[in-house]
Amino acid sequence: MSYPIDHRLIRQFLATVEHGNITAASNALHISQPALTKNIRKLEEMLGVKLLERHSRGVDATSYGEILVRRGKLVELEFEYAAAEIEAMKGGTKGTIRIGTSPVFATLYMPKVSAAIVQKNPGLKIDLTIGVLDTLVPSLLQGDLDIICSALDYPDHPEIVKEHLIDFEHAVFARADHPLANRTNIEAKDLMAFEWVMLAQDHVAISRLGSYFSANGISPPRIAMETNSFETAFSMVKEGDFLTSATSSMVEFAQSAGLALLDVRGTLWHFPAGVAYRRTTSTPNAINAVIENLKKEVQP
């Protein structure tokens, strides 16, 4: 079944949910509050469902409304992609590409990749967001990001295209004069005497770390501090007898921060990494530019 829905109604509905308030949304859209209310009701009548739940603090999307928010954002995104493609055909390169990246990609690869893209595409703006899988994947599905650069070991989704570029293996780091720094063949039980610094909200990594200790018959270690950047994490580790986990490809960066790679027996965990983006009829040029430039960095 198809609905002859005015695209403006969807945009107004999305703005209302985003602001959580009819008045705030009407101000942002530069239309009157009665007109916005009328248009939302018109959209509800066309679909035959209630899209907004009104309360004293404002409005929230109903379960039906949440579906329209998710799909509506993709409609908006397709429109943006179409506009960008038209602009490219006209010879321009205006617009913004929203990239989500894990701290590893942000630290090792994205500075050069971003610079290369901007230099070749004057007028194109890069909006870079650093996060972990638990935040990046939902943002990609919701249409808040155009592409993410991260681990790929999460469930496949029909709306997401994954492209494997590199494999990472996690290792343990400590300050250069840490009690374990000069030891070899360190066992899991040796690591238990120390507290850990981990990336904030990185539940996947924390779970894998717990699995490593569990496989060795040991309870998960205590995480003393969390942060959203490797720079801060490494600085914290340098200040005490803490441990942290990062990919072994970060070894040079860690050493420059005064840390040492520990000789731990076995492998904590390894995983495939690369890019992921939403499935569309044709991949936008800006996304292709990210992929091609990233390939040059991770696959020299």
3.90.1170.50, 1.10.3210.10, 3.90.580.10, 1.10.10.10: CATH of 7-71: 1.10.10.10
The CA distance from 275 to 259, in Å, is 29
CA 283 to each of CA 146, 149, 158, 244, 272: distance values in angstroms, whole numbers, following the listed order: 10, 16, 16, 38, 22
The correct answer on CATH 3.50.50.60 for the domain covering 168-269 is no
Beta bridge partners of 128: 99
Residue whose tokens read 């006209």: 90
Can 73-166+272-298 and 168-269 be said to share one CATH topology?
A: yes
Supply the pLDDT for residue 2: 45
Q: Which amino acid is at 108?
A: L
Please answer whether residues 277 and 254 qualify as being in contact, where contact means their C-beta atoms are separated by less than 8 angstroms. Answer: no
| Ranges of the chain whose pLDDT falls below 50 | 1-2, 91-92
Supply the pLDDT for residue 109: 94
3-state secondary structure of 57: coil
Which homologous superfamily does the CATH classification assign to the domain defined by 73-166+272-298?
Periplasmic binding protein-like II (3.40.190.10)
Domain extent listing, the chain: 7-71, 73-166+272-298, 168-269
DSSP per-residue codes, 206-241:
HHHHHHHHHHTT-PPPPEEEEES-HHHHHHHHHTTT
Dig out the tokens for 164 from the structure: 């494997």
Supply the pLDDT for residue 201: 84
Dig out the tokens for 180 from the structure: 């374990």
Which helix H or strand E contains 251, and what residues bound it? Answer: helix 251-256
DSSP per-residue codes, 147-194:
EEEEE--S---TTEEEEEEEEEEEEEEEETT-TTTT-SSB-HHHHTTS
Supply the pLDDT for residue 127: 92
Supply the pLDDT for residue 285: 81
